[in-house]
Amino acid sequence: MDKRADQEPAQHHREDLPPRRIMFYSHDTFGLGHLRRSRTLATALTQSDPRASAIILTGSPVAGRFTFPERVDHIRLPGVTKLPDGSYVSQSLGTGIEDTTSLRAGLIQAAIERYEPDLLVVDKEPTGFRGELLPTLQGLRTHGRTRTVLGLRDVLDEPAALAAEWERKGALRAAEELYDEIWVYGMREMYDPTQGLPLSQEARARMHWTGYLRREIADEAEVPDNPYVLITPGGGGDGAAMVSLVLSAYEQDPTLKPNAVLVYGPFLSGDLRDRFEARVAKLGGRVTATGFDRQIEALFVGAEGVISMGGYNTFCEVLSFDKRAVIVPRTTPRLEQWLRASRAEEMGLVRMLEETRDGMTTQAMIDAIRNLPQQKKPSEAGANDLLGGLEMVVARADALMSRRET
């Protein structure tokens, strides 16, 4: 696989140069993916440059449960919740969605005006939640000196659905007119998240495929002494079916090994979580469970293999820690996880458990767990060549901010 020839080396940092300020926008209406990605990027950029500090604007309701490294902080935007019919409501303020969006937009604009970042990195949504970023982005384009970057994960959605969504949101025009660069946190040979989008050649010339974002253990943590498979549905809000299938596998086959460590995620809770806990208790220690683990990287390192839904961050962890993995992707409301898992399986990086091909049955899950030791590790399929994302981001950020300083 080709090395990123356009990667620019970061400059040597002089102590007499002015401080650098970086801001991340992470709309976070659901799940953990956007916040975790922004936190990873903020950590890499501040660790690479002792002059740099970063603030993450996030709507995640669990942002306060994360630890942030030195010179990285976050501002919590009022949260919103997506209803089954696709509409949104305020999470806790009791105000209408228009008022909540207006409040969020005002907080974003005030934060950027006060902080005066050298670089603004926007995660996934070119216009922000319900267009809340547009006033700020347009103001920066007119009279600001902040460099702006749109950061896209490796897969967004099936091309036709994505094109319709971006047209509806005005995202295409924003990507064309309001950003200095577009970073794709993946590899072109893996997938192009913008296929199907009628981006101009000028916009595509500003695109940089960074590679995947390598993960490392942030803090030491205790892990089980005995062999285990790690079961993780990510944030957990849509992971109930996968968790139930894994529990059924251990219930049906009392000889199934190794044991399992299940991390529910913070959004799998309430009565459903209670029912799962009751099932776990009956398995006599063959499955242990926890709700939310900030140090899940340590559990990845110690695992014999991984069963997951295949969100972006989990996929980066599978590659980074070189773990045999079975991906059970969701297919609604987006095909993102299925597209990622399907392509990764073609490349020999993971195995996918797919409903129409394998059958989403208890026996299929039993077989998948039993066959994990026979799978190749991602490194055997060239995973290390995919993991240059953080180095590339540091180089691109340095190049953009150096231009601002001249």
Question: Could you tell me the two tokens for 397?
Answer: 């950020």
One domain, residues 192 and 271 = no
One domain, residues 260 and 400 = no
Identify whether the C-beta of residue 340 lies closer than 8 Å to the C-beta of residue 319: no
Q: How far apart are CA 235 and CA 266, in angstroms?
A: 6
Q: Where are the beta strands (DSSP E) in 98-247?
A: 119-123, 147-153, 181-185, 207-209, 228-232
One domain, residues 295 and 206 = no
How big is the chain by its Cα radius of gyration, in Å? 21
pTM for this structure? 0.91
Q: Is 9 part of a structural domain of the chain?
A: no
Identify whether the C-beta of residue 228 lies closer than 8 Å to the C-beta of residue 259: yes
Looking at residue 6, what is its pLDDT? Answer: 46
Q: For the chain, which residues score pLDDT lower than 50?
A: 1-11
At 201-231, the pLDDT tens digits run 999 999 999 999 999 886 666 788 899 999 9
One domain, residues 46 and 184 = yes
Which residues are CB-neighbours of 241 under 8 A, at least 6 positions away? 360
Q: Which domain CATH number covers 189?
A: 3.40.50.2000
Q: Is 3 part of a structural domain of the chain?
A: no
Q: What is the mean pLDDT of the chain?
A: 90
One domain, residues 298 and 235 = yes
Which helix or strand (DSSP H or E) is residue 39 part of? helix 33-48
Q: Is 12 part of a structural domain of the chain?
A: no
Q: How many residues does the chain have?
A: 406
One domain, residues 195 and 296 = no
At 257-292, the pLDDT tens digits run 999 999 987 777 788 889 999 999 999 999 999 876
Domain hosting 48: range is 20-214+388-405
One domain, residues 32 and 105 = yes
One domain, residues 149 and 189 = yes
Q: How many domains does the chain have?
A: 2
Q: Is 301 part of a structural domain of the chain?
A: yes
One domain, residues 203 and 232 = no
Q: Is 11 part of a structural domain of the chain?
A: no
Q: Is 13 part of a structural domain of the chain?
A: no
Q: Is 107 part of a structural domain of the chain?
A: yes
